[in-house]
Amino acid sequence: VQVVGILGGAVVIEQIFALPGLGSLAIEASVRTDVPLVLGAVLAYVVIVVIVNLLVDLVVAWLNPKVRLS
């Protein structure tokens, strides 16, 4: 849940300071109605969130033996 907030905050920072990044690209694509680019940006964000959540779950299970992987 925290990672999603960080990514959303990064999009805002990219827009405020005119930094190039995935968030700026996604916003510009949505303004230009470039559907394939918007879908690609959303897919990239989803993949990042899923990978980070998986890694965090594995680290928690590794550090805390009371957590079960079932």
Q: How far apart are CA 49 and CA 43, in angstroms?
A: 10
| pLDDT at 51 > cutoff 90 | yes
pLDDT of 1 reads: 59
pLDDT of 43 reads: 92
pLDDT of 69 reads: 67
Q: What is the pLDDT of residues 3-50, one digit of tens each?
A: 777 777 888 888 888 888 888 888 889 899 999 999 998 898 889 889
Residue 27 structure tokens: 């916003």
Decide which of 69 and 9 is more confident: 9
Domain ranges of the chain: 2-63
**Cβ–Cβ < 8 Å for 23, 10:** yes
